Structure 1
Amino acid sequence: MLVLEKDEMVQNFIAQQNDLKEHISLQNNFLENQISLVAGLDIAYWHKNNKEYGACCIQVFDFRSKNLIEQVSYINEITVPYISGFLAFRELPLILEAVKKLKTQPSLYMFDGNGYLHKRHMGIATHASFYLKKPTIGVAKTYYKIENIDFTMPENIAGAFTDIVIDGEVFGRTLRSRKNVKPIFVSCGNWIDLDTATNITMHFIDKDSRLPIPVRYADLATHQARKLHQDDV
């Protein structure tokens, strides 16, 4: 891709993000007892024959029983190049096609990635919310550093957290989901507050992973889909 074309693409992406971020709400638009189904979502990539492909997997769980209710996937070629800070523009086409395959209607989506914890508050969990029209949560395995600000490690106690504050604003939360494991990074997507996002994340933590069940299963499903399809595309 020519430098000029990439620069024009980036400016267009920034303009779209700046427009959408004016409509972010960090308040719940639901009651917690209204949550029935929660979807976990992740995407894996691979290259073949000089092309890039992606698999989007969605795993839907019952909030109360934590049982798996539905799982779908969608695979296609990726046409948008990777540019840091603009992941949603690569992933949204896959996400929206995968969502069309769902027979259930999730109350909320959890993403393996960031939401408000983004330099323009437009990580994939936030960006996708405007198309899904549902509350969203970002749960990342690694820290996305903004303005060279590091996170503060929480106590080694399950449920301990420290807020990620940049220029006086809380962007997200470093959460110790289980004792003696690395923390995860929780941020609001949209139409949810950070305490509720943290509570829902902890609700889905089990003894087998530091990630909440919907995100963990989505992550595992993407690896399986990639292994299954990368030789078949």
Structure 2
Amino acid sequence: MSEDTEQMQEKFRAIQEDLSSKISCTDSFDVNNIKTVAGIDLAYWKDENDDEQAVCCIVVIDFNTHEVMEKKHFSGKIDVPYMPGFLAFRELPLILETVKLLENIPNIYVFDGNGYLHPRHMGIASHASFYLDRPTFGIAKTYFRVDKKTDYTEPAPESGSFTDIVIGGEVYGRALRTHTGVKPVFLSVGNNISLDTACKLALALTDKESHIPIPTRLADLETHVQRTELTTSKI
């Protein structure tokens, strides 16, 4: 690891530790008042100069009908190198630029990634919350082993079953089965929401098409569309 990278990590870690003390794992809203939810995801690629590029896609849906209200995207160069535990610093600039394009500011943001399930509780869903002024939570498709030792316990095979991910006596997240017999997703609080409420919302936002909640599934699909358009248009 270069000296510049070490200094960057020290700076980023200090920011994370400061923000993590301000995370709230309780509901700051009335669930009955939720009208819109947005899913956020990013996709990466290398350009002709071998520079890393990414596109952020946000899809806003109606919470009750699940209809798409709008889709927005923003792309650009990624200047922060990949460093485990510091993903938010790579993604946040593009996320905030995409949010500026939204005509419908959602009640809640759902991220394709982690929040509290992170060594310093500062996954992208937590970190971004301090700039979005909205409750957030994360849904990851793969398990992030925070301490390199603690694994998760498989939930029962039935839809809605879950097991909490406990590390050092603290609940970091939840392995949730959104459909019977499918792989679990990994849920964690971002900010200003409880784990139980995030779990209920994740189940309410999941349909028969996928075991991933609709907002992040649509955002993921949109990143593939936009990445293809952006890369082929340069040829």
Range of TM-score over shorter length: over 0.9
One-letter amino acid matched to 2:135:
P
Task: Output one character per residue of 1:183-228: Cα deviation in whole Å (capped at 9) or x when no partner.
Answer: 0000000000000000000001111101000010000000111111
Partner of 1:207: 208
Aligned residue for 1:129, secondary structure, equals helix
Aligned residue for 2:207, secondary structure, equals coil
2:153 matches 1:131: no
Structure 1: how far apart are the matches of 2:233 and 2:20?
39
Aligned residue for 1:45, secondary structure, equals strand
What is the aligned-residue RMSD (CA, Å)? Answer: 0.8
Unmatched 5+ stretches in structure 2: none
Aligned residue for 2:219, secondary structure, equals helix
Task: Output one character per residue of 1:62-99: Cα deviation in whole Å (capped at 9) or x when no partner.
Answer: 11111110110001111111101000000000000000
Structure 2: how far apart are the matches of 1:4 and 1:187?
33
Aligned residue for 1:76, secondary structure, equals strand
Structure 2: how far apart are the matches of 1:179 and 1:30?
30
Following superposition, the deviation at residue 105 of structure 1 comes to: 1.2
Partner of 2:184: 183
Structure 2: how far apart are the matches of 1:120 and 1:157?
32
Partner of 2:56: 56
TM normalised by structure 2 equals: 0.97
Structure 2: how far apart are the matches of 1:199 and 1:35?
13
Structure 1: how far apart are the matches of 2:28 and 2:186?
22
Structure 2: how far apart are the matches of 1:180 and 1:229?
37
Following superposition, the deviation at residue 138 of structure 1 comes to: 0.4
Tell me the percent identity. Answer: 51
Aligned residue for 1:201, secondary structure, equals helix
Structure 2: how far apart are the matches of 1:40 and 1:129?
13
Following superposition, the deviation at residue 232 of structure 1 comes to: 2.9
Unmatched 5+ stretches in structure 1: none
Structure 2: how far apart are the matches of 1:78 and 1:146?
24
Pairing 1:66-145 to 2, within 5 Å after superposition: 66-145=66-145
Pairing 1:134-173 to 2, within 5 Å after superposition: 134-147=134-147, 148-173=149-174
Q: How many aligned positions are there?
A: 232
Task: Output one character per residue of 1:123-168: Cα deviation in whole Å (capped at 9) or x when no partner.
Answer: 0000000000100010000000022100000010000000000000
Partner of 1:219: 220
Following superposition, the deviation at residue 230 of structure 1 comes to: 1.5
One-letter amino acid matched to 1:42:
D
Structure 2: how far apart are the matches of 1:188 and 1:206?
21
Q: Which runs of 4+ in 1 moved over 4 A?
A: none
One-letter amino acid matched to 1:120:
R
Structure 2: how far apart are the matches of 1:68 and 1:137?
20
